[in-house]
Amino acid sequence: MHTIRPTRLEIDLDAICSNYRALRAAAGGSPALAVVKADAYGHGAVPVARALRAAGADMFAVALIEEGIELREAGIEAPILMLGATDGPGALAAAEYGITEVVFTRDALLALEGAAKSLGVHAKAHLKIDTGMNRIGVRTEEELRDLLEAARLCPHVEITGAMTHCAAADDPESDFTLEQLERFDRMLAVAAEYGLRPERHAAASAAAVRYPQARYDRIRAGIALYGFDPMHTLPLRPAMRLVTRVSHVKRIAPGETVSYGRRFCAQRETDIATLPIGYADGYRRAFSCRAQALVHGVRVPVVGSVCMDQIMLDVTGLSVRPGDEAVLLGRQGGEEITSEELAGLAETIPYEIMTGISARVPRVYPGQEGGEADG
């Protein structure tokens, strides 16, 4: 995408690599699978994967087969694990592109076997064990034994890993993670009965820090890569900066209102700056009359309802002109607006703020050759 409009998402790849190293250090140097699903949490999967590969990441995770194919077609040759469920066509694509599939049903395993056999290749799979998340995965020892019996009939599929996911690792008041790890260990013992010694992984960012026993053979570096620490203990750097430029400035009189629904009424002469960004870009309508932006290094309020393509700021007293930079997420001068701050206003989590910035906002990579996302 050509960057013509001034609204853009600046991504600091050096920060992501620094965060990768910080998480690994906090996890005792454990090998780390880098999670780049959902377009690397909105940061751009291909540029992020390339940067992390150069920083030493030797394995990646995606949620969808299409995400794995995107990495393969971009030249990423490292192992790729697809975390989500798939169907027959997905199994065929996984075998074709050498993407490791998670399996937890006999049907899925047999579909992968059939796909690999038809292509004349050997596919890889990780067992997905459900220890309490109750999304996908094998729930009981009986189910696991049934799956492993089926695996004996699948010479074209190699089970190379086993995984589970913790539901409450970031909750300091909960011991549920310990219960989950006990269940996972019992299921691993069943796998051992069948001669399997797969690579084991259970810990995403929070569990990797809080529970050393959850690190097993590898941790999964997800949200921490992008600068958010669920435990607030790591020296992480946010990697995302949402910026635009003022498109218009006007002065309104006391009693005049701004935007749909007339939710803001000026109590004095007020300078209003308009920015070319709105909820179609992922800047949520929930931020109306609540969020702040940075202009000239100063926090200023968002006034009136957020529109589909534009928002307005009260910049009274700042001598703002069209073309001046405005920051909606990230740092300007000594001030910073964080994803956690915006998540609080929208009553959600930082993950949703990061992944919610729409594809029509160009991702740019300052300091990188070309400066823009591929494609």
| Residues ≥6 apart with Cβ < 8 Å to 251 | 269, 270, 271, 272
In sign, the C-alpha dihedral spanning 63, 68, 69, 70 is positive
Q: Which entry of 41, 226, 250, 260 is annotated as an active-site residue?
A: 260
Asked if 162 and 187 touch (Cβ cutoff 8 Å), the reply is yes
Among 268, 257, 245, CA closest to 320:
245
Among 190, 177, 88, 70, CA closest to 140:
190
Q: d(Cα 173, Cα 193) in Å, to the nearest integer?
A: 35
Q: Which entry of 37, 216, 226, 279 is annotated as an active-site residue?
A: 37
- Token couple for 34: 């880098």
| Residues ≥6 apart with Cβ < 8 Å to 15 | 227, 237, 238, 239
Residue type for 305, please?
A: S
Answer yes or no: 37 catalytic: yes
User: Which residue pairs, CB below 8 angstroms and at least 24 apart, start in 133-141?
Assistant: 133/164, 133/165, 133/166, 133/167, 135/165, 136/84, 136/85, 136/102, 136/104, 137/104, 137/164, 138/104, 138/187, 141/186, 141/187, 141/190
Answer yes or no: 117 catalytic: no
Residue count (the chain): 375
Rounded to 10 degrees, the C-alpha dihedral 32/36/41/47 comes to 110
Asked if 327 and 242 touch (Cβ cutoff 8 Å), the reply is yes
Asked if 246 and 318 touch (Cβ cutoff 8 Å), the reply is no
Question: Quick one: residue 195, left, alpha or beta (phi over 0 = left, psi -120 to 50 = alpha)?
Answer: left
Catalytic residues, by residue number, are 37, 260
